[in-house]
Amino acid sequence: MSIGFLKQAINAIHNQPYSSTTHRVNQWFKWLSPGISVKRWFMVTVSGVLLAILGLAIWMKLTPIFWILELLKGLLALLTDILPHYVSGPLVLLLGGLLVLWGQSRTVGSITQALRPQGSQEELIDVILAHHRLYRGPKIVVVGGGTGLSTLLRGLKTYSANITAIVTVADDGGSSGRLRQEFGVLPPGDIRNCLAALADEEKLLTELFQYRFRAGDGLTGHSFGNLFLTAMSDITGDLEQAVAASSKVLAVRGQVLPATLSDVRLWAEMADGRRIEGESSIPKAGGKIVKIGCLPANPPAIPAAIKAIRSADYIIIGPGSLYTSLIPNLLVPEITQAIACANVPRIYICNIMTQPGETEGYSVSEHIRAIDRACGDRKLFDAVLVHRRSPSAQALIRYAQQNSHPVFLDTEAVSRLGRRIVPANVLYEDETGFVRHDPQKLARVLLKWYGAASKK
């Protein structure tokens, strides 16, 4: 019997075109993929059915089984009298195979329809395989804040669901600052961005969380996401519990943790002797920052953050504003100590452009020295990722008007600091000349470097 006839028979049962049936058969074979724990449970089910039938037969003294076997024997004898065994055998085998295939495909189709998100065309087996791959990904800890951290998370979540973002809570400007003053809650702004970035429905959730009220007594200027997290903090008791509860509601892939639950406020000493207090005031002060700290000094870390760092396979610092997004996390001594002691690949993502009021004129090595000074000259990372191509002329002109320029890579100085340089093209530039890291390119480079570093 030809293979073509078999395919035509399957098509006739499903009343579907050949290409659709081929796709369905391929989808079926995916259920046999190793590691998703389907084959073993299918065999357990089959064994259970056979044992149940055997038990029933023993219980009934085999009498019904005897007559059923006799009936089948008669039917088969009649069939072989009409058709030779070399014709009837394949026909019965084909009929049985088609019935099994038809029944199981309908079963899986019903399960898929019930479990698949509304509007999604993705097959159930593809969802299971993707889930299996993501949750077997490396345990990645990312330390930072601001838009740079959320940009990175958008790329990383396509490679692993085992992501922990440790986020600064030193923000005191904008909507976060107002909520901090009025309700006494920790600033939710950076955490809000990270939750949106790690959510499955990222686009819709980002639009919702970033929505700012334009009217209303006391609401103007507040983002919905900040109000949501503030309400959750009041309900659950603190920001850590609020973020955990929100992550379940929003189907977040990974976890987001505040660096500390202390009400920390940044201060900076400038080269001219001034002392500036407040995260939002530091970039506006102008001048060179020579030292940065926080009040209260040495705030305690939350235990979940330390646990995540100690069990991490990979630690990433940045990108983000050097003094107001990255270093505030490192002012928590327990976090600094845990990162310094971690015997895993650790990398720092340097910003593409300098930031007015914070890193004007800084080279890559000066970024590294600032981090080293802030954490007591401990070596928190082994390599630094730098973008190796210059932005467009349009972007350079735009940023130059704000006294911002590409961060210069001083290779020899970086090497003297004992850091390996990882050059990569990870820039995304929009039509207006706005420059930032490309989430997917950045994540791809980071995972490639992690793979090479892990082997070493």
For residue 77, being part of any structural domain is answered with no
Q: Could you tell me if residue 188 is left (phi over 0), alpha (psi between -120 and 50 degrees) or otherwise beta?
A: alpha
Q: Residue 86 is encoded by which pair of tokens? A: 């070399």
In a 3-state reduction of DSSP, which class is residue 355? coil
Domain of 149 in residue numbering reads as 137-168+259-454
For residue 46, being part of any structural domain is answered with no
- How far apart (Å, rounded) are the C-alpha atoms in residues 186 and 356? 26
Contact 313, 138 (CB under 8 A): yes
Q: Mind giving me the DSSP string for 157-226?
A: TTT-S-EEEEE-----SHHHHHHHHHH-PPP-HHHHHHHHHHBTTHHHHHHHHH-B--SSTTTTT-BHHH
Please confirm whether the linkage preceding 296 is cis (ω < 30° from 0).
yes
pTM score, two decimals?
Answer: 0.76
**Among 259, 356, 346, 273, which Cα is nearest to 303's?**
259
pLDDT digit string, tens, across residues 132-168: 788 889 999 999 988 899 999 999 999 999 999 999 9
Q: Is the Cα torsion angle 46, 52, 58, 64 positive or negative in sign?
A: negative
Each residue's pLDDT tens digit in the chain (456 positions)?
444 444 444 444 444 454 566 666 676 666 666 666 666 777 778 888 878 887 877 777 666 667 777 787 887 777 777 777 777 778 878 888 887 888 777 776 666 666 665 556 666 667 677 777 888 899 999 999 888 999 999 999 999 999 999 999 988 877 777 887 777 788 888 898 899 899 877 677 778 888 888 776 677 778 888 888 888 888 888 888 988 888 887 878 899 999 999 999 999 999 999 999 999 899 999 889 999 999 999 999 999 999 999 999 999 998 999 999 999 999 999 999 999 999 999 999 999 999 999 999 999 999 999 999 999 888 999 999 999 889 999 999 999 999 999 999 999 999 999 999 999 999 999 888 899 999 999 999 999 999 999 887
In a 3-state reduction of DSSP, which class is residue 316? strand
For residue 248, being part of any structural domain is answered with no
**Among 361, 364, 335, 339, which Cα is nearest to 349's?**
364
- How far apart (Å, rounded) are the C-alpha atoms in residues 395 and 164? 33
Beta partners for residue 314, in sequence order: 140
For residue 210, being part of any structural domain is answered with no
**74: burial class by Cβ within 10 Å (0-12, 13-18, 19+)?**
exposed
For residue 323, being part of any structural domain is answered with yes
How many domains does the chain fold into? 1
For residue 279, being part of any structural domain is answered with yes
For residue 390, being part of any structural domain is answered with yes
Question: Please, what's the b/e burial string for 309-340 (b: 16 or more CB within 10 A of its CB; e: otherwise)?
Answer: beebbbbbbbbbbbbbbbbbbbbbebbbbbbb
Q: Residue 345 is encoded by which pair of tokens? A: 């690949």
For residue 442, being part of any structural domain is answered with yes
Question: In this structure, what CATH number is given to the domain that contains residue 367?
Answer: 3.40.50.10680
pLDDT for 251 equals 79
H-run or E-run covering 117: none
Residues ≥6 apart with Cβ < 8 Å to 123: 27, 30, 112
Q: Residue 126 is encoded by which pair of tokens? A: 């593809």
Contact 176, 188 (CB under 8 A): yes
